[in-house]
Amino acid sequence: MVAGTESPAAAPKRITRVTSFDVAEEAGVSQSTVSRALAGDTSISEPTRQRVIAAAARLNYQVNENAARLRRGKTGTLAVVMICRAGEDRKDLNPFYYSLLGSTCAAASARGYEVLVSFQDSAENFWGHFEERRKADGMIVIGTSENTPAWDYFGELDPDTNWVCWGAPNDGFPWVRTDNEGGATLAARHMLVRGYTRIVCIGSETSPQRQFKERYDGYAAAMRDAGHEPVLQRIERGLPREEQGRRAAAALAASGQPFDAIFAVSDEIALGALKELIALGYKVPDQVGVVGFDGVRAGAWSTPPLTTIEPDFEVAGTLLVERLLAAMAGEPETPRRSPVRLVVRGSTRP
């Protein structure tokens, strides 16, 4: 009401530079009362609060977060570092990581935190001093275990740093990860139940991708449990996943090793193997069953669609945030394993 819309001199042109002092004047109270009223301090009387709120609305006031944070010493922000493979086309980044980023942001926001995201791919831009610079109260690092220089960098940060990570190459890191063993066991049992018995695992127990080892272990445990010997068909290093799957399937077929099912430690490998098997004339799922791990979208579109183990992304993000907040509060333990579920599609027989 004070300054009408057509008052040319009063209309603020630039994004508001209104301070709590202006609001105080407008409301006829002191500046500290404004701060308290807006912060929801219970000692402020309701009429006063209303007056302040109205004045703030009229002036279009918003607190300057930098000043507030400087004073408080806390930021209300969590940093998320996404580690990409150096020089990698972002489009080729496993979409899984993007989903995880999304659910992490959501979980942080549910706990009242904002998220500062940075993508880092190589030594020139590794950076983890968010707390020291008061940019964030803690840090979540998400990446593939293959970017060794990155993990070397983050492994050597100040040990008092509050952080958690996804994709850690070893257990010396404050990790959270998928229930790889459980998932692999689930996959193997599913195949056993469907009548496959000569199940070969395409994967690796020595890959820097620690999860591959865990998945192999889960598969092996389920096999032994059922009285079968686990068999590993190794992937060749340094190739695209799909190609690794293709070659492994070809090698397996050529080896004479009898098999009626394949458990691949990742969907991309599984998809490659699937393509190769079909090219070689195998009938999937009747003659050979195939199960992957990761729940990538493309699996729904292959022929036949890929049966897979799908990690729960929503839970994973929540777990990361919960663990970080617990660490920040000095409470040590919260769950570190994110659950998985079996998605049955057409690459295993009914």
Binding string, 12-31, against DNA, x = CB under 7 A? -----xxxxx-------xxx
124 binds its own copies (CB under 8 A): no
Window 54-73: contact mask with its own copies (x via CB under 8 A): ------x-xxxxxx-xx---
Report the residue number, 46 or 71, with the smaller CB distance to its own copies: 71
Indicate whether 341 belongs to the interface with its own copies (CB under 8 A): no
Site for its own copies in 1-30 (CB under 8 A): 13-16
Name, in order, each residue with C-beta under 8 angstroms of 112's C-beta and a sequence gap of 6 or more.
76
DSSP summary character for residue 84: P
Task: Output the smallest distance, CB 301 to its own copies, in A.
Answer: 4
**Would you state the structure tokens that stand for residue 91, as one six-digit string?**
């489009």
Asked if 44 touches DNA (CB under 7 A), the answer is yes
Question: 37 — phi, psi (to 5°)?
Answer: -60, -45
Q: Is the CB of 59 or the CB of 187 nearer to its own copies?
A: 59
For the record, the structure tokens of 147 come out as 């970017």
Alpha-carbon dihedral sign for residues 83, 102, 164, 213: negative
350 vs 116: CA distance, rounded Å: 46
- C-alpha separations of 147 from 120, 169, 213, 328 in Å: 11, 9, 17, 26
Number of neighbours of residue 335 by Cβ within 10 angstroms: 13
Which residues face 142 on adjacent strands? 82, 166
Contact 184, 222 (CB under 8 A): yes
d(CA 54, CA 122): 50
Nearest to 94 by CA among 60, 55, 142, 40: 142
Q: Which of 26, 38, 199, 273 binds DNA (CB under 7 A)?
A: 38
Does position 56 interact with DNA (CB under 7 A)? The reply is: no
Residue 160 has which token pair? Answer: 């008092």
161 binds its own copies (CB under 8 A): yes
To the nearest whole angstrom, how small is the minimum distance from the Cβ of residue 84 to its own copies?
Answer: 8
How many positions of this chain bind its own copies (CB under 8 A)?
58
Of 92 and 132, the one with the shorter C-beta distance to DNA is 132
* Region near its own copies per CB under 8 A, out of 1-9, 26-34, 156-164, 337-345: 156-164
Complex with its own copies: residue 235 or 270, whichever CB lies closer: 270
Question: Helix, strand, or coil here: 292?
Answer: strand
Q: Figure out which of the listed residues 75, 145, 147, 185 binds its own copies, where binding follows CB under 8 A.
A: 75
Instruction: Kindly indicate which of the ranges 41-49, 164-172, 220-228, 294-302 contains the residues binding DNA, using the contact rule CB under 7 A.
Output: 41-49
Helices and strands of the chain, counted as H and E runs: 11, 12
**Partner whose footprint covers residue 146, from its own copies, DNA, none (CB < 5 to 8 Å by kind):** none
Strands 231-234 and 261-264: unpaired
Helix ranges (DSSP H) in 95-166: 95-110, 148-155
Nearest to residue 278, comparing CAs of 240, 299, 300, 304? 304
The contact pattern for its own copies, residues 84-123, with x = CB under 8 A and - = no contact, is x----xxx-x-x--xx-xxx-xx--x----xxxxxx----
The only residue of 22, 48, 58, 135 in contact with its own copies, by rule CB under 8 A: 135
Which residues sit at the interface with DNA, rule CB under 7 A?
A: 17-21, 29-33, 35-36, 38-39, 43-45, 47-49, 61, 63-64, 67-68, 70-73
Which residues sit at the interface with its own copies, rule CB under 8 A?
A: 13-16, 60, 62-67, 69-70, 75, 80, 82, 84, 89-91, 93, 95, 98-99, 101-103, 105-106, 109, 114-119, 125, 129, 131-135, 158, 160-162, 271, 296-303, 313-314
